[in-house]
Structure 1
Amino acid sequence: MSYADKIFVDMCRDILEHGTSTEGEKVRPHWEDGTPAYTIKQFGVVNRYDLSKEFPAITLRKTAIKTCTEEMLWIWQRKSNNIHDLKSTVWDEWADESGSIGKAYGYQLGVKHQYKEGMFDQVDRVIYDLKNNPFSRRIMTNIYVHQDLHEMHLYPCAYSMTFNVTQKKGHDKLTLNAILNQRSQDVLAANNWNVCQYAVLVHMLAQVCDMEVGELVHVIADAHIYDRHVPIIEELIQREQHPAPKFELNPDIKDFYQFTTDDIKVTDYITGEQVKNIPIAI
């Protein structure tokens, strides 16, 4: 069975059974009808996925892997902060009349910075270091830029990636590992979405840097289940589990900026029924 299912079920049960409630507190999120959106939360959740063993898509319900990859490429490859450059509608609520979400996400990754080797944005710097200084302990990105927070329509949730390269005994290629840091996460709506899109990112970077994929470690400071999501989660974690799908990238792509969602192939993805019309707190 999918190891991602086990991680998801165990995390949800731990939140429901041992988490703390924000009910009655002054909370920022609210439902469309104006009602406060309370949560049951757990602090400091750490989940580990070995990408060399399986692709971490849950099978309890389907995760739209190409759609979440499209969002990841919008941020990491196109470095855009405009929803007109994105095929999905997941960011529409936070965009202004021009389509901008402010100085957030892709905008920050596209800002160039001075290094001793020259000017790089954060993505190009990661790729440069992975190719030229792979054992550096300084290969990371950070889009939680305090000086620009007031110009972001939504503060970054998944805000930092730290990359770390190891050498497995008997392997010719190096292994690429990564830590995804997230300050806050809506477990039902976003957990496996984020896991899958950053797993795809690690696969892509490993391929263009001639490495093998290793671990993706997901650190969530505030992992929460919204009050209106509790019955959905309770039903979801009781569902039948299936083996993880097979995942492939087009092996001919050697430039990160050439990847498209057409270069992803997901097969044998058997899942439970999709959960539709999930209410989203705003």
Structure 2
Amino acid sequence: MSLADQTFVAMCKDILENGVSTEGEKVRPHWPDGTSAYTIKKFGVVSRYDLSKEFPAITLRKTAIKTCTEEMLWIWQRKSNNIHDLKSTVWDEWADENGSIGKAYGYQLGVKHQYKEGMMDQVDRVIYDLKNNPFSRRILTNIYVHQDLHEMNLYPCAYSMTFNVTQKKGDDKLTLNAILNQRSQDILTANNWNVCQYAVLVHMLAQVCDMRVGELVHVIADAHIYDRHIPLVKELIERPQYPAPKFWLNPEIKDFYQFTRDDVKLIDYETGPQIKDIPVAI
């Protein structure tokens, strides 16, 4: 069975059984009807995914790999903060009349900084170091920029990636590992979506830098299940689990900026039914 399913189910059970409730507290999120959106939460949830063993798409329900890849590329490759550059409508409620989400997400990755080697944005800096100084302990991105928070229509949830390269004994290729840091996560709507997005990113960067994929470690400071999601999560984690799908990435692409959503596929991806009409807190 899928290791990602096992990880997800264990995480959800831990939150439901051992988490703390925010009911009655002053909380920012609310439901569309104006009611406060309370959660059951756990602090400091850490999940590890060995990408060399399987691709971490859960089978309990389908994760739309092309759509989540497109969103990741919107941020990391196009470095866009405008929803008109994205087919998905997920970000629409945070966009202004021009489609901008402010100085958030892709905007921050596109800002150029002065380095000893010249002017580069954060993504190009990562690729430069992976190719030229792979054993550096300083290969990371950060989009939680305090001076720009007041100009962001939403604060970044997944805000930092740290890359770390290792070499297995006797292997002629290096292995790319990464840590995804997230300040907050709505487990039902976003957990596997984000895991799959950043697993794809690690696969893409490994390919263009001629490395193997290693571990993706996901660190969530506030891992929560919303009150109206609890029955949905309880039903979801009791579903049958299937073998993990096989991941395909177009082997012809050697330039990160040439990847598209059509360069990824999940093969033999058997899943349970999709959960429809999930209420989303805003």
TM-score normalised per structure 1 = 1.00
Query: Any idea what SS the aligned residue of 1:205 has?
Result: helix
Q: Distance in 2 between matches of 1:198 and 1:256?
A: 14
Could you say which residue in structure 1 is the equivalent of 2:220? 220
Q: How much does 1:48 deviate?
A: 0.1
Q: How much does 1:88 deviate?
A: 0.4
Residue type at the aligned position of 1:145:
V
Could you say which residue in structure 1 is the equivalent of 2:171? 171
Could you say which residue in structure 1 is the equivalent of 2:43? 43
Tell me if 1:34 matches 2:34: yes
Could you say which residue in structure 1 is the equivalent of 2:235? 235
**CA shift digits 1:111-163 (9 cap, x unpaired):** 00000000000000000000000000000000000000000000000000000
Q: Distance in 1 between matches of 2:230 and 2:197?
A: 24
Q: How much does 1:170 deviate?
A: 1.8
Residue type at the aligned position of 2:17:
E
Could you say which residue in structure 2 is the equivalent of 1:246? 246
**CA shift digits 1:167-192 (9 cap, x unpaired):** 01121110000000000000000000
Residue type at the aligned position of 2:238:
Q
Q: How much does 1:266 deviate?
A: 1.2
Tell me if 1:154 matches 2:185: no
Could you say which residue in structure 1 is the equivalent of 2:260? 260
Residue type at the aligned position of 2:55:
F
Residue type at the aligned position of 2:43:
F
Query: Any idea what SS the aligned residue of 2:274 has?
Result: coil
Unaligned runs of 5+ in 2: none
Q: Distance in 2 between matches of 1:176 and 1:3?
A: 20
Could you say which residue in structure 1 is the equivalent of 2:190? 190
> Any conservation in 1 of the 2:129–2:136 contact (CA below 8 Å)?
yes
Could you say which residue in structure 1 is the equivalent of 2:112? 112
Could you say which residue in structure 2 is the equivalent of 1:21? 21
The 5 A counterparts of 1:77-116 are 77-116=77-116
Q: How much does 1:205 deviate?
A: 0.1
Q: How much does 1:265 deviate?
A: 1.9
Query: Any idea what SS the aligned residue of 1:243 has?
Result: coil
Could you say which residue in structure 2 is the equivalent of 1:63? 63
Tell me if 1:124 matches 2:150: no
Could you say which residue in structure 2 is the equivalent of 1:208? 208
Identical counterparts, % of pairs? 87
Query: Any idea what SS the aligned residue of 1:32 has?
Result: coil
Query: Any idea what SS the aligned residue of 2:228 has?
Result: helix
Q: Distance in 1 between matches of 2:85 and 2:169?
A: 43
Could you say which residue in structure 2 is the equivalent of 1:53? 53
Q: Distance in 1 between matches of 2:240 and 2:157?
A: 30
> Any conservation in 1 of the 2:65–2:265 contact (CA below 8 Å)?
no
Could you say which residue in structure 1 is the equivalent of 2:133? 133
Q: Number of residue pairs matched?
A: 282
Query: Any idea what SS the aligned residue of 1:124 has?
Result: helix
Q: Distance in 1 between matches of 2:4 and 2:94?
A: 30
Could you say which residue in structure 1 is the equivalent of 2:280? 280
The two structures, once aligned, show a CA RMSD in angstroms of 0.3
Residue type at the aligned position of 2:157:
C
Query: Any idea what SS the aligned residue of 2:224 has?
Result: strand
Query: Any idea what SS the aligned residue of 2:216 has?
Result: strand
Query: Any idea what SS the aligned residue of 2:62 has?
Result: coil
Unaligned runs of 5+ in 1: none
Q: Distance in 2 between matches of 1:238 and 1:265?
A: 27
